Amino acid sequence: MDEAGIKVTTGQPLYGHSLIGTPCVEVCRYMKSPMYTLQLLVGYDGVKHYRVIEGGSDTNEYVHFIHEAVQSFGEDGQRALQQGDILISDNAPIHRNEGELILSDWLDTLGIEYSFTPTYSPI
């Protein structure tokens, strides 16, 4: 699970990737003021659940997204998050702290393991 800020702009970019005749959308991390945030849950077999929200994300939006993912079904009829899955998030403050307190026990009762990527080492 991860999030990225999306800023939709019109103008004359010097470079970008899109289909011919369609506008290019810039997706980048750690934007100062994203217009939208893409929340994305990806599994081994592709995108499981996603959501685009206006503005930046916070702990409440993150918890709401995970709650939505548990209740949603993919095209294959399987839940986006189900018993036996492992939810791996990065160490962003909205995923840790209060978000971790809210989600860890609840996901455990559903049989979903909640884990984090290792902290980055300067070595």
Domain of 42, in residue numbers: 2-116
Task: For residue 28, tell me if it sits in a domain.
Answer: yes
**Res. 29 pLDDT band, cuts 50 70 90:** low
pLDDT of residue 123 exceeding 50:
no
Task: For residue 27, tell me if it sits in a domain.
Answer: yes
Task: For residue 97, tell me if it sits in a domain.
Answer: yes
pLDDT computed for residue 25 by the predictor: 64
pLDDT computed for residue 55 by the predictor: 83
Task: For residue 36, tell me if it sits in a domain.
Answer: yes
* Bigger pLDDT: 89 vs 28: 89
Number of domain units in the chain: 1
Task: For residue 71, tell me if it sits in a domain.
Answer: yes
How far, CA to CA in Å, does 47 sit from each of 40, 78, 80, 106? Answer: 7, 12, 9, 23
Half-sphere exposure (Cβ direction) of 4: Cα atoms closer than 13 Å: 11
* Parallel, antiparallel or unpaired: strands 86-89 and 113-116: parallel
pLDDT of residue 46 exceeding 50:
yes
Q: What is the mean pLDDT of residues 51-63?
A: 89
| pTM over cut 0.85 | no
How far, CA to CA in Å, does 62 sit from each of 9, 28, 48, 56, 66? Answer: 25, 18, 16, 11, 6
